[in-house]
Structures are given as structure tokens and as C-alpha cells.
Structure 1
Amino acid sequence: MEKLFEPGKIARMELKNRLCMAPMGTSLAGPQGEISQRMIEYYRARARGGVGLVITEIVMPEFNPARALMFGTGTPAVGSAGNIRLFTELAEAVHDYGAKIAIQLTCGNGRLGGLEDYPEVQAVSPSPVPTELAPNRIPRELTVSEIEYIVAAQGKAAAKLKRANIDAIEIHAHGGYLMAQFMSPIVNKRTDKYGGDLDGRLRFPLESIQAIKAAAGNDFPLIFRYAIDEFVEGGRGIAESQEVARRLEAAGVHAIDISGGAGGFRIGSSWVFPPSYLPEGTYVHLAEAIKKAVKIPVITAGRLGDCSMASRVLEDGNADFISLGRPVLCDPDLPRKWATGHPEEVRRCISCNVCQTRGGGYIHCALNPLAGRELAYHEPQKAERKKKVMVIGAGPGGMEAARVAALRGHDVVLYEKTKQLGGGQLKIAMVPPHKDDLQNIIDYYDAQFKKLKNVTVRLGAEANADLVKKEKPDAVVIAVGNEPIIPDLPGVTGRNAVTAEAVLAGEAKVGSSAVVIGAGMVGCETANYLAQQGKAVTILSRRDASQSAIDVPVHHRTHLLRMLAEKSVKIIGPRTVVEITNQGVVTEDAQKKREVVPADTVVLARGRKPLTGLVSEIAKMVDEYTVIGDAKETRSIKDAIWEGFRYCNEL
């Protein structure tokens, strides 16, 4: 661990440790790219937490919808003198805690679009090559004069940022955005000086480097982030990226920041924000390859939220700096907790990518309700009056409710009918392949409850109305979760019909072949689990088969469907289930044609419904109560945790 906290250096920039905050979009800027106080507090929290270098989200050189430099609303821009003053304030907020700040300068979205607020602006690219995800949206090819304008704009922005006391600039050339498109052989099909061979494809980024260095100074720290492997057939791979690294070093780049994947491609985009289906240390092998090619420092990211793994990457010489994006979104104090020898107290990221699939909304985190809301919320403060609080259910929402209520100074008793924190549902959710990150949630709350002396955890204790009446609490949080929906079908009570929950809990035996009724996340993950055991699995969907796992975040969905295909899991849809028999499942297609899908075991995965029995009884006994999480409505871990936080933070 000591290596993580050794001082480091990038060009003239001295850093107090080897931990960086990775760039992540927040959408916290104003409608014309203004730096907001909310954004400043967001970055202040990460600097306070102990990173040595904060690398910001993408920043546009200027706010100009008529040019190709644009991202969507909420993206900051260098822009006016007034905004430069706010960049100075942002730098001061980071410097107050001994950290340095690098602005990630972008040249635009390119063919990935993202300009819904500016429908008159056509997406642009080096070539009129559409994305796999929007094949009918043909981007316009940039002219040479437009490219020259973008190059010059980056130089002007760099000069302004230097005057604002920004410590470094990182060039945004990853994720499949505009500069990455110029560098990619599969996207850049130009025949002029900006395309063709590697010399042509690197001309735009190298001219951008020259413009920035001319404006900010040759010794002004300059970092370049790009994908070492696009993970796309025909795209750039490791060998070419090593040559790119050598040319960047020769051009005066002071450090290389490692990324992977390419937006706009189904598989490539799923590597940009590595989901839990990809291994920890996702990009470490890419960093190792670049370390062999250059002498300048190498920064790497990619599921490095485990202290031991991050330390090992540096000790093995695979990188010089560790970049943490989602881990410090989830817990800004992660570096401090690592440094003081308390990694068990870190609220560890589960790589769920809720933060990256937010539909244009503000940055947020499933596990940390304060993320992106640091200006409005703070860690819980002591309440004016101590209360006796009963929390029923130790799932994610119940555990967060108990933690926050205890921090408010209340006396809290947390009841859980199963014999482990997390409740039955969270434990079951960890069973399918690559879902063990969910254990991070339990580990965090377990460590918190050991610290908090005013929380009593009672496992294997089912709370009922009689207990509530006996204990006479001042407030009750009902977080009892939900239960499977059993469809009204002939044969559903047969011995060969079981729920997905029973399968994952190890309570039901499954034969050599299985039909899973339901193609949502639970159905697909259960099918993946069974297929991994060597079962022959078929999924029946009410929708078209192409809509399977539609409720799974997009970065995860790609890999989940890939794994199902690799394990020969069949997905049939749209089909209506008519009956369950001893032979399997009778289905009906859109033409009312019936077919029996054979199976030894039929697995029900048709959704879940709230457990509501306690609510009406408690309402008669306690004035102050609330229902949170799946007990209120079947939703996500994020909804449960946020509701637990919000209610108890005002209790």
C-alpha cells in the first residue's frame, strides 16, 4: 500500500500521491457551460478525500452550438471571462486540500451525437460513417477548415485555463468521441491528409497537442487519454497503440492515461465503463503494454477499487498512477481510508454503472446519495431529539436507514428475519456469475454497524406487529422487500415449477434442461447461472427476443447477452405461456400456433411484488413510519438506499 502514497510527478507537476480521480461526465454545468457551485462542491469533496490529482470531466473549448465542439447540456465550457473566474474558484477548491487539477479538454462528441438540445446541429465525424447503434444517422464529414478551427480553439482554451491556475490539461481522445474517431482505422476513412495511414489519422491529435503547447507552454503538463484496445473488429489494437504512444511521447505529451473500448459499437462501448461482468483491473494489461513502449508516466483505471489490487499494479511496475472514477464517486474518502489503514470502511463501488446510464440527468451513485448533491446535502447531523427507531429488514435500504438514523443520534434496532445482513434478496442477487461485487454493500454496512454504538442488529429475528406493539418505537422504517409474482397458469403449482429465487437460493433442484419464463434481468441472470452448470436452457419472452434483458444497464446487457449466446442459451419470443406440463411449457405465438418447449424444470421469473402485510398494522400503532425500497415498489438498489437516506436524514 505504501507505493500508492508515494509522491509522484508529471512534467513539472508534483503530486502528493499516486491516486488520481478519473474523468467522468456530471452534467452539473449550466445551460451554456457555466461552472456551477454544485460542480465545485462535487470536486471539492473528492479533493478533500485525498486524491493527488483531480482530472475533471470533459470541458468544451468554447460554447458554440454552430461548431463541432459541442456536447449536450450540462457540459462545462471554457468560454467567457466570467466562466474563467469560476475555473479559478474550482482550482482553488481542489488546491485547498493539497491536490492538483487537470482539465480534460474535449473537441466534441463527433458521430456519437448527444446534441438533442440542438436538433439543427448535424453530428459530425472524420468520415460519414454511422454508429452501429444508430445506422441511419449519417454524420457529416468535417471540412479541413473546421478541423483547423477546432485545433485553434483548443489552443485558446489552454491559454485561458493556464491563467485560471489549472495545473494540467488532459486531451480527451477516448470513448469513441471525435478525436478518437480520427485515430480509429474503422471510423476514419478520409483520403486527405487527416486520414489514411497512421500518420494521417494522428495528424489531428498531434496538431491539437502542438496548439496547446504553443499556447500554454512546452513544460505545461499535458496528459493524453486514449483507448489502447478499441475491442472492435478492425479497430485499433495494442500493437498500433504502442506506436501511437511513442509518437505522443515524441510530440511532448507528459503522461498517457489508459482507457479501452469505443463508443458507437455494441461491444466496444461496453468496455468504456467496465461493468461487473469484466474482471477487476480491466485495463491493467493495456497499461503494461504501454509502459513497455514509453518512458513517460502511465496512468491506468478500470475497476481498481480494491486497495490490494491497486497497490499491486504499481508494485509490479504496470503503471505509475492509479485512476479512480466510480470508486471515488461512490466514496470520496476512499484515499484517506486507504492511507489510514481502514480499507474495510470504504463504501466500495459495485460497477453497476447507474452513474453512466442516467439518461442525461445529473451524476449520481446507487450507493452514495450525496454524490453530485454535495451542495444540498451533507453527512447526517445530530437530531434535536433522540428517538427510538425500529428498522424492519436489513436489505440495502434498511441498512442505510439504520446507518443514517444512528448518525443522527437515535437509538436504532435493525431486525432481519434471515441470518445475514443484506437480507435474502441481496444474497440471492450475488449468486449468478460476476455478481459477487454486491458483497461490497454488506461489507460496508457491517463495518459501519461495528463502529456505531447506537445500532443493535438482530439477525434471524422477524419483526411483526406484536413486537412493534411491545417495543413502542417512536418511528418505524419498513424495508421488508418483496416476493415473487406467481403467474396464474395451469400447472404452475406442479413439482417441476420453481421460482428463480428458489433456484438461486439453492432451495430447488433443476434437471438437465430448464425453461425460464421471463427475459428480464432476473430471468437472464438465472439462465446464465444454470447454463454455467451445464444445463440446457431456454428463455421464454413476452417481447421480441431482441428485447431480452432490456431492464439491464446497457454496458452490462451487452456482456450478459454475449455470455448467454456463448453458453448456447436459446431465447424465444414473443411467446405467450399457456400451460406448464410435466413435459415442459406450452406456448403460443402471435398467430396462435401452439408449441411445447420441453424441459425437466420450469423456472418462474415474471417479476416481484411488494410485501405489504405489515404496513396497515403498523399504521395503527405508530404515527411516524415510512415504507422504503421494494416494500414500497419493486425497483432498484439505488431507490432503496436513497429512500432510506432521505427519510432518516430528516428523522
Structure 2
Amino acid sequence: MATGKVFTPIEIGTMTLKHRVVMAPTIHEMCYGGHPTEAYLAITDTYARSGVSMVCVGGATIDPGKSGEVFPNALSIADDECVFGLQRLAETIHAQEAKACQQIYHPGRASARYWAQSDPSWLPWGASAKVPFMAAAKWEITKKGGKWSAVNTMPPAPVREISLEEVEQVVRMHVLAALRAKKAGFDAVNLHFANVTLIMDFISPYTNVRTDGYGGGWENRMRLPCEIVQATRSAVGRGYPLIVRIPADQGLGEVGIRFQDTLRHVVPRLAEAGIDAIDLSAGVLDHTPHKIIPPMYDARGCWLHHSEEVKKVTKLPVIVAGRLCDPRMIAKAVENGQCDVAALSRPLMADPLLPKKMFAGKPDDVRMCVACGYCMSESGWTKYCAINAESAREQTLPKIGPAGRPRKVLVVGGGPGGMEAARVLRERGHDVTLCEKEGQLGGALRVAAAAPLTREWRTFTRWHVRQIGALGVKVLLGTEVTRALVDELAPEVVVVATGSVQSRDIDGADREIVAAEEEVLLKGKAIGRKVVVVGGAFWDVETAINLADQGKEVILVREAETVSMNRLGPIRALPILFGMLQAKNVKPLFSTKVVKIEENGVRVENSVGDSTLLEADAVVLSTARVANRKLLDELRGVSAELHEIGDCVNPRSVADAVYGGRLVGARI
């Protein structure tokens, strides 16, 4: 692993990168008044220490007015007062011998996300007024016009077409921002023309219906981005590297930027204008957000086919991201000419030592990102990670250091929380025994890992198993812990991580026709062809699709009116899931209450009280989970110090379990 093209230097303009793995531009809501906080500097230091050859600081807005606001705690480069904070970022990166790049952009329509509700009279800037902004904050699968559809239910925010005078201001803003980045000590600038920026809206026929010199055909629509590149090049000088992030494909079909358009019109014109490298992205925030940050349903390296084709039409270095979580894949992609530089964002949150482990020839030690979307959902934009509790908590989470006194610790439960606790405790020098009642480690994650849609979770469990094995944790499989066993083992400390069980609070749930999803997906219980899935959580959609993949005729029953996802993580996956529901002919019955499970099906009521029997060969429960507190109740009063983590406290997420394990592991 420590040899090959990926480890060789590459030049971007006059800047030489010592190897070809970099940090992709990533937005963090960790600023105050547009200036980086100590927390932002700390996470930037983590990225710089990873071993990447360059860190690209993401998304600094160039507009000092309302049109430049898109996130409440975003980074700004809109005035000279920003230079000091930016300088601290650049110095933090340089201290770890990495190059520093600053991404700059104008959010255009997306500024409505921040301001539209607080000031309805104000309109954000757009290439034209044709397309309002639909904040990607509430996608739902719902029934509309008698048909099932996936819709963004946030109200549209109108947009104002900017004037020619304002177009000139936008060019000037980019120039001044680039000069500030250079003054702050950044080695390069990334011009963000993708996703949902004002400049992308000028490039795209979907959002640009102007009738002046900036609208119409490709020459006119590319005029503004080329003017920005030319003016910026003139200001910063020929030797200063300019990288441009562009959308390979917006995912809008004929009405948007298609991949063939990028190859034929976008790349050649930007190259001629004077850029030094192409940085590929995809998607549009308010319509195809799942293409911007691909979920685990997409294959690893899902943008490599784009970068490979772009390399055929330009001699400029081509940078690409898109689920590059596997060190072996990264090395192979560069070696085979699919890209020149691999850009990592989420993979560095999951394992900030990925490049160093890669260079050391230890790819199996990498905690690979599973693309679960947590960093873009519940955690907002602070970049908490479901499988790495330390991400974005550099200043608050206790460090892993030697224990003051090694103690005998029993961890009960081999799910993600229990394994994380065992790993950290053993790393600190404690004598750790991990007991799991099943024959394998993984806990509830084993159910997700067994299903094709979510099999990426296997990589996290495998990583944990390797780590605790290498550290010497004593693992007892097939061992159900009781009060008697605790008394026999006589630990000084007991960490209870017994997880949760599926709720069966439904009349008739004990019938033979009923199976829990783990019995079917994990243990291979045979069921008939006609299946009713009784849902109640986000993963019930995945369960229904997985059963349809097995050739089942599936009806998904949910009491809720819709399947909705807030924030920006699982939202990105919902349109994909809806497409799968359609393609596999899964019949969703929403606003439908399960009254009773009968011998030959499920008795349900719709929203007006009409009762129907859904005939089925099997009823699969994909309902909410309840805490398994049986052992906790048994252990009350034991002499050992007692801790509880994960779902046995309250069924929540993998992230909560891992965080609990990491926290208790560092505190004991």
C-alpha cells in the first residue's frame, strides 16, 4: 500500500502537493460572526494531522450582505476583518506540513434558507426569478393526487433576478475574497461553482432563463464563471493556484447540467479561462441533494466514472470525492487514471488517521465511513460522526490516556456501544471482558448489516472486532450474563450495554404468522410470498425494500401520514428510497393504524375509521424498539461500580451508543 502513484507528488499550478490524498471542502457551522471559533480551529487541526497533503476549508461566503448568508454560523471571507481568523486557519494547517486551500462562494438562491422566514420582504439573488429555492430540510414520501411521491414540503422561497450591475459586484466579490485568502496565507483558492451556488445557477439552463448576455446558450451561460476566473487570475497572479468545483451532473435530466454538457462546454471553457484544476461534485441541494453527498445505497467511489471521463477532455489535474472511504480503492483509482487527486471529507470524520494508516500499509486499521448521513442530519453541520465520537468534540470529550489504576471491567453486550467501551477501556490499560449472548458481535447492527441496502454497517463491526482482538479484550460469545455470573466473575466495574428489543405491543403479535425483521433478515426465517410490514421508524422503508428484493409482495403499513426526514442527512436518501419503493412495487399504506394481527393477515383502519383485512402469508414487524433493562434491574445493589450505555438506557441511534461507549471508556 505504501507504493504507487497515489503517494507521488502532483503540481496544481505552481503548488506541489506531496501526495494525492486531500481534504475535500467541507462546510462547518462552527463560526461566530463569520469568524472561526476555537472548536473550528481544533477540528481543522485534526484534519491537518491526518496526513493529507492539502486541507480545503469549505464554503466561505463572499457577500457581506443578506445574500451572502446561508448558514447561521458559517465562515465568511466577505470583508477584510475576516483575514485574521482565516490566517489562523491557514497557520493551523501549515503547522502540520499540509497545504491550505480556501473555498469561496456566493450562495445565491440558498441564502433564502437563512433569511426567507425572518424577512419575507427580502428576496435572495438568483440568475433569474424562474426557480425559487426549496430548502432541503423536509423531504417526505406522501400521497399526492392519488399517487405516491417523494416531495420537498418546505415552502418555496422566491428569488430575484440580479441586475447587470450586481453581476459586476459578484465578480468583484470573488476577486476580493481570493485576495483575502491569499493574504491570509492560503496556498490556493477553490472557486465553488457547484451544488447550489449563484454561479451554478448561471451555468444551468434550469435556473438561467435570462435574455441578456448572461443567458441563452452555453457561451452566454458560461460567461459569468469565466469572467470570475479571468478577473481572479488577473488579481492573484499567474502563479497562484485556482481550483474550480463544478457539478459533473445536476441529476435533473434534460433541463439541467448533464454530464455530456460538463465535458463539452463547462470544462473546456473554464480551462481556457485560466484555472489550474477541476474539482468534481454533483447534484443540486434543493432537488437532488442525495447526489451531493451520496448515501450508503450508492456504491463506493460513485463519482469515479465522472472523473475518468473528464480526464479525457482536459490535461488539468482532476480532483474527485464521492464515497472514497476505502484506502485500496483510493490507491487503485489514482493508479488506473480514474482521477489525479482523491478528496476525502466524511472518511476523515470517521477516521482522521486514514491517510497515515494508508501510507503505513495498514488499510485494515481504517475505520471506514459507512455513509450513514449522521454528520449531515441530527448533528447539523458541526460534523459529529456516528462511528467516531471524537469528531467535532476535540475540545469536550475526555482524551484517551492511561488509566490511573487498571481495573477489572466486565462489559455486557457486544453491540456498537459495548464494543466501543471495551476498545477504549482496554486501550487505557484496564482488564476487560466482553460478554455477548449471541454467537457474533454486532448487536442490532447485525440486522442492518445483513440487508443489502445497509450492508455497509458490516465494515464498522468488523473494524471493532479487529480492534478489540488486537488489544487483547477477552470476548465470551454465546454468554448471557446473569447476576450469578457477575458474582462469579467478580468485576470491579460493570458496563451494561444490553441494547433494546423490538416492540410487540400489538394485539396478535404472538401469532405464528408474525416475525421480527431480525428473524427474517438476519436469521433467515422462511416466510411466504405475501408480506405486510408493520412499520413505525425510518428503517421500515428499508426493510420493505429488502423483502421486495427477495421476491416478496410487500405492503408497508404506517400510522404516520408520511415518511419524513429533517435536516440534511437521511433526507438525501429519501428520494432514492422512494424510487426503490416504486421500482419494486411496494404498496405503502400511510395514515393507517394496525388494529390487530389475525391468523391470515392484519386488520387495519384508515384515517376515517374504515376497517380492512390485509391478507398475508407473513407479518414482519419493523416497529420501534424498547430498552432491554432486565439485567440492569437484576444488578441493582451489586458491589461493583455500575454503568449503563446505549439502547438499554433509551433506544436511540448508533451515534448515541458509540458516544456513550467512548465516554464511559475514558472516564472509568
Aligned equivalent of 1:529: 546
Aligned equivalent of 1:561: 578
Offset, 1:519: 4.9
Offset, 1:197: 1.3
Alignment of 1:213-292 (within 5 A): 213-233=233-253, 234-242=255-263, 243-265=265-287, 268-292=288-312
CA distance in 2, matches of 1:198, 1:378: 54
Task: Confirm or deny: 8 A CA contact 1:258 1:301 kept in the other structure.
Answer: yes
Offset, 1:379: 4.1
CA distance in 1, matches of 2:170, 2:133: 22
CA distance in 2, matches of 1:391, 1:589: 46
Matched position secondary structure for 2:660: helix
Deviations 1:194-233 (A, max 9, x none): 2221122222211221232122112210000111111113
Aligned equivalent of 1:596: 613
The alignment status of 1:616 with 2:633, answered yes or no, reads yes
Aligned equivalent of 1:24: 26
Offset, 1:61: 2.3
The alignment status of 1:467 with 2:485, answered yes or no, reads yes
The alignment status of 1:65 with 2:65, answered yes or no, reads yes
Aligned equivalent of 2:431: 411
- Structure 2 residue identity aligned to 1:220: Y
The alignment status of 1:547 with 2:563, answered yes or no, reads yes
Task: Confirm or deny: 8 A CA contact 2:112 2:157 kept in the other structure.
Answer: no
The alignment status of 1:113 with 2:132, answered yes or no, reads no
Among 349, 359, 366, the residue aligned to 2:386: 366
Matched position secondary structure for 1:23: strand
Change (3 A) 1:131 1:622: farther
Task: Confirm or deny: 8 A CA contact 1:579 1:585 kept in the other structure.
Answer: yes
Structure 1 gaps of 5+ residues are none
Task: Confirm or deny: 8 A CA contact 2:70 2:110 kept in the other structure.
Answer: no
CA distance in 1, matches of 2:660, 2:123: 41
Task: Confirm or deny: 8 A CA contact 1:415 1:462 kept in the other structure.
Answer: yes
Matched position secondary structure for 2:432: strand
Relative to structure 2, which stretch is displaced further, 200-209 or 279-288? 200-209
Among 446, 449, 457, the residue aligned to 2:468: 449
Aligned equivalent of 1:488: 506
CA distance in 2, matches of 1:645, 1:541: 35
Higher relative contact order (CA 8 A, sep 6+): 2
CA distance in 1, matches of 2:327, 2:233: 35
- Structure 1 residue identity aligned to 2:542: E
CA distance in 1, matches of 2:213, 2:536: 49
CA distance in 2, matches of 1:38, 1:635: 26
Task: Confirm or deny: 8 A CA contact 2:126 2:161 kept in the other structure.
Answer: yes
Aligned equivalent of 1:99: 98
Matched position secondary structure for 1:469: helix
Cα-Cα RMSD: 1.9
Change (3 A) 1:352 1:194: same
Change (3 A) 1:52 1:112: same
CA distance in 2, matches of 1:175, 1:459: 48
CA distance in 2, matches of 1:162, 1:237: 33
CA distance in 2, matches of 1:250, 1:59: 25
Task: Confirm or deny: 8 A CA contact 2:251 2:283 kept in the other structure.
Answer: yes
CA distance in 1, matches of 2:317, 2:625: 50
- Structure 1 residue identity aligned to 2:318: V
- Structure 1 residue identity aligned to 2:430: H
Aligned equivalent of 1:640: 657
CA distance in 2, matches of 1:606, 1:376: 35
- Structure 2 residue identity aligned to 1:350: V
Matched position secondary structure for 1:574: coil
Offset, 1:26: 1.3
- Structure 1 residue identity aligned to 2:35: E
Offset, 1:140: 2.0
Matched position secondary structure for 1:56: strand
The alignment status of 1:439 with 2:458, answered yes or no, reads yes
Deviations 1:417-438 (A, max 9, x none): 1122213x11111122221211
Offset, 1:136: 3.3
CA distance in 1, matches of 2:38, 2:78: 17
Alignment of 1:75-474 (within 5 A): 75-79=74-78, 81=80, 83-111=82-110, 113-116=112-115, 119-120=118-119, 121-128=122-129, 129-131=131-133, 133=152, 134=154, 136-233=156-253, 234-242=255-263, 243-265=265-287, 268-358=288-378, 360=380, 362-377=382-397, 379-423=399-443, 425-453=444-472, 455-474=473-492
Task: Confirm or deny: 8 A CA contact 1:228 1:238 kept in the other structure.
Answer: yes
CA distance in 2, matches of 1:79, 1:195: 27
- Structure 2 residue identity aligned to 1:90: L
Task: Confirm or deny: 8 A CA contact 2:377 2:566 kept in the other structure.
Answer: no
Task: Confirm or deny: 8 A CA contact 2:506 2:597 kept in the other structure.
Answer: no
Deviations 1:74-93 (A, max 9, x none): 21112555532232222222
CA distance in 2, matches of 1:440, 1:291: 31
CA distance in 2, matches of 1:376, 1:211: 43
Matched position secondary structure for 1:270: helix
Matched position secondary structure for 2:279: strand
Matched position secondary structure for 2:548: helix
Aligned equivalent of 1:33: 34
CA distance in 2, matches of 1:615, 1:532: 39
Task: Confirm or deny: 8 A CA contact 1:370 1:378 kept in the other structure.
Answer: no
